[in-house]
Structure 1
Amino acid sequence: MAATQVIRSEWTKIRSVASTVWTLSLAVVITIALGMLIAALSKSEFDDMSRRDQLSFDPTFISFAGMSLGQLAMIVFGVLVVSNEYSTGMIRSSLAAVPQRGTFLFSKIAVATGLSLVVGLATSFVAFFLGQAMLGEHRAEIGDPGVLRAVIGGGLYMTLIAMFSMGVAAMLRSPMLSLGILMPFFFLVSNILGNVSATEKIGRYLPDQAGSRIMQVVTPIDDDKPYGPWGGLGIMVLWVIAAIAGGYVTLKKRDA
């Protein structure tokens, strides 16, 4: 089957599964709504902040406060896109129709990545503008130095989270196992490793810790990370490449 036909087929599959549509919608709503709430609270508390906190105040990054929860929905989307066929047993039919396993996997990831990118960028821009509206006089403008990079970076970050999840799901081939590892990893383990002094130097190289640097415009006073916004995103890209390569090797070597 030609690659274009496989891509069309994968697009039809994603579109027709209600759960994938719902998870993407949830990612949008949670990211925007929580970002607006945190921005409104930050505005009301700004005058009570210490001088140090005011100097580190990053209005752009505050717009993306909802990303920490919104990314969980992107994780679910990435996992479901890849592992749904394993849980339903449809994977045998799919691989019979497309025996070239690399073409099958990369077509699936390409379609889901394109969709994630569109949704991620739209979410990031809306979250930014609505968040800044909530901040009032403390807001940043899209034309300020570093702001447009951060907003576009927010969309790229959401996309890469989904791609990483696709790679992990391709390796583990089970939605429950994939979510059982990814959810605690991003929601608990990464935060703990990144905020405990003994493990902080390890945590900063995890995909979400490194990747989220792209959304920061103001560098916190005590920040000593050895990479900048694009360096952090580069680290996250390496994690994604490793996950997808692992998924590809697993698909090539193991039976459906």
Structure 2
Amino acid sequence: MAYTAVLKSEWTKIRTVASTSWTLALVFLVTAGFAALFSATFDENNLDPAQQATFDATAMSFASMQFGQLAMIVFGVLVVSTEYSTGMIRTSLAAVPRRGHFLLGKMAVATTLALVVGLLTSFVSFFLTQALLGDLGIGVGEENVLRALIGAGLYLALLALFCMGVATMLRSSVAAISILIPFFLIVSNLLNGFEATRTVGQYLPSNAGARIMQVVPNAFGSPETPYGPWGGFGIMVLWTLAAVLGGYAVLRKRDA
């Protein structure tokens, strides 16, 4: 099967499965909705002096990213695991015997969709937030703001790709989601929250990747990092590459 046909096939699979479409929609709705809610109820007086000194209006746009990335994790897992749960993987691999082409096509289509939704989510959340912050808001033309907005979209796309790699290794939506959600939403925050474990926590993909969404260094009094925005993004790229290569290695050697 030609590679363009693989891409068309994967696009058809994703858009015709309700669960993947809804999870992508939730990424946008939850992130933008809660960003607007947080901004509408924001009171600068509730911040301590250190947080006021490092107030980041752009980062406020991504205060709800934890909710959005939860939906993106589920999307990345379902794109892969649905084929295994339905038995469709056997048909897919029969149609595309070159497993590398099959996996690359699936990941390319899903990552592109995640990037489009991620960028839409990022920009809409930003403009909603800045409008609601009033005098505290910032313009998109200010220094490093555009980098943060594009970076947020790239972060969500990489998150989906990372989860696809893990799901390919595990072949189970329950197993993958049970590992990935605590890893991103609990373990990363806990390790980064204590000084004794911060040297490990700051190199986990979510903590490193989120650095690209900050315009003000150490926004809201967050700990210093030994890397900048693009350095943190590079760390997340390495994590994602490892997950994808792991998924490919397992897919090559294991029966469908």
| Fold shared by both chains (TM-score > 0.5) | yes
Distance 1:251 1:141 in 2: 46
| Aligned ranges 1:87-106 → 2 under 5 Å | 87-106=85-104
Residue 173 of structure 2, aligned match among 172, 175, 191: 175
What 5-or-longer segments of structure 1 have no aligned partner? none
Question: Residue in 2 aligned with 1:139?
Answer: 137
1:11-26 alignment runs, 5 A limit = 11-26=11-26
2:36 maps to 1:33: no
CA gap of 1:48–1:203, structure 2 versus 1, over 3 A, is: closer
- Which amino acid is 1:6 matched to? V
**Percent of residue pairs identical:** 59
- Scaled by the length of structure 1, the TM-score of the pair is 0.97
Aligned to 2:251: 251
Structure 2 spans left out of the alignment, 5+ residues: none
Per the alignment, residue 109 of structure 1 pairs with 107
Alignment length, in residue pairs?
A: 254
Q: 1:48 to 1:246 in 2, by over 3 A?
A: closer
Instruction: Tell me, in whole angstroms, the C-alpha distance in 1 between the residues paired with 2:222 and 2:123.
Output: 28
User: What CA distance in whole angstroms lies between the structure 2 residues aligned with 1:10 and 1:52?
Assistant: 48
1:222 Cα shift?
6.0
| 1:23-62 superposed matches below 5 A | 23-42=23-42, 45-62=43-60
Cα deviation for residue 40 of structure 1 reads 2.1
Give the structure 1 partner of residue 152 of structure 2.
Answer: 154
**Residue matched to 1:232:** 232
Give the CA deviation at 1:41.
Answer: 2.6
Q: Secondary structure at the match of 2:195?
A: coil
Compared CA separation, residues 222 and 68, structure 1 to 2 (3 A): closer
Counterpart CA distance in 1 for 2:229 and 2:206 is 12
Q: Deviations over 1:81-100 (max 9, x none)?
A: 01110011111111011100
Residue identity matched to 1:231? G
How far does residue 48 in structure 1 lie from its aligned partner after superposition?
A: 4.5
* Match in the other structure for 1:202: 200
Q: CA deviation at 1:196?
A: 1.5
CA RMSD of aligned residues (A): 1.0
Q: Which amino acid aligns with 2:2?
A: A
Aligned partner of 2:242 in structure 1 is: 242
| Partners of 1:52 and 1:211 in 2: CA distance | 23
Distance 2:48 2:173 in 1: 45
Deviation at 1:198, TM superposition (A): 1.3
Residue among 160, 163, 166 paired with 1:165: 163
Q: CA deviation at 1:7?
A: 0.6
**Comparing 48-57 with 141-150, which one deviates more in the overlay?**
48-57
| Alpha-carbon separation, structure 2, partners of 1:30 and 1:48 | 24
CA deviation digits over 1:50-106, x for unaligned, max 9?
Answer: 332211110100111111110010000000001110011111111011100000000
Q: In the aligned structure 1, how far is the partner of 2:85 from the partner of 2:6?
A: 20
Structure 2 counterpart SS, 1:201: helix
Distance 2:172 2:223 in 1: 38
